[in-house]
Structure 1
Amino acid sequence: MDKIAVFCGASMGASEVYAEGAKALGKELARKNITLVYGGASVGMMGTIADTVLEAGGQAIGVMPDFLDQKEHTHQHLSKLIVVDSMHERKAKMAELADGFIVMPGGAGTMEEFFEIFTWAQLGLHRKPFGLFNVNQYYEPLVALFNHMSREHFLAEKHRTMALVDSDPTGLIHQLQNYDAPSGTRTYISEDQT
């Protein structure tokens, strides 16, 4: 696994624990010689993880829509910066570059990015691994919702388990590196739920 796309916010969150998580993940990516692919900003969680990767001697590729430059403040010291015209192009380019995806704590934009990758995997459009970096148990409510979706037959079990979850960056990267995508295409309910 050469490149991992990390989805995260342009804000820092309510606790220093989130920045510490971003730093831990950034250090682990650099240690494993995995290039960071991310949204290209110098602020918030995005800036923290990029700065950490670069300071640790790693590589960071940013993908920034030109219209967001003033709001998110494009990082000026990346290994490579790719400027695109839209949010759709940003996500498509990140997905194209990455061998896998990690979702840090974030808001609506981070969730939108995650769910698109999740949906594409369900539809069989990619077989790349993706996981939630569960810093400070941030994603426990979402994991509970996935379990509820599965019990109510809106999410097949084989799809529920696609979303890897770990609160340790080393463990999460290990899961991504050893991921084996389920076979077949999308089904609304699994065979044992019919």
Structure 2
Amino acid sequence: MLSKLFKPRLKLVCFDLDNTLYDFALAEAETEVYLAELISKRFKKPAKNILSKFIEIKKKHLHNDIDPNNYSRALWISELFRDLKIKLNSLDSKEYEGKYWEYLNPRVKIFPETMNVLENLRKKYKIACLSDSDGEKQIKIERINALGLNKYFDYMITTDDTGKNKPSAENYEYLLKISGLKPASA
């Protein structure tokens, strides 16, 4: 009887992506080593130093920076080259960023129960993903598509859409706006 009086009004479930629905951390760590080795080979600098500096730059921006543009791997790579006193132009940074994502994306693996959970939720609810930027929204969309997750999402939001990284309220307000839902339903 009580269950009829207090029917859940939930209509939308929202997920983060990286390290929630798939293992991003392992692929990211492998890619950072790959990038360091690639740069080391070309510029004859110790890969260990390159990797340490890259991780330092990443930590400076990641989860400390509200601007999604500062999550760009091209930016991090440019800063890396500058700090290592390697002369490169912005095209070189973009080239290395491309290599970074080409190496990383195939290594991202969906967690074992992800598809099952999404399949079951899809039967009753709208599903959204809200994730921090990778520098450009298209990078995240390509990963979602490659993993076959795109078919589950009614709404795909990256912080590029609002210009503010999580946990900024603007992201959730944007999701409510495009879904037409009230906070109590999401």
The structure in which a higher percent of residues are strand is: 1
Q: One fold, TM greater than 0.5? A: no
Over alpha carbons, which structure has the higher Rg? 2
Structure 1 length as normaliser, TM-score? Answer: 0.28
Structure 2 length as normaliser, TM-score? Answer: 0.29
The structure in which a higher percent of residues are helix is: 2
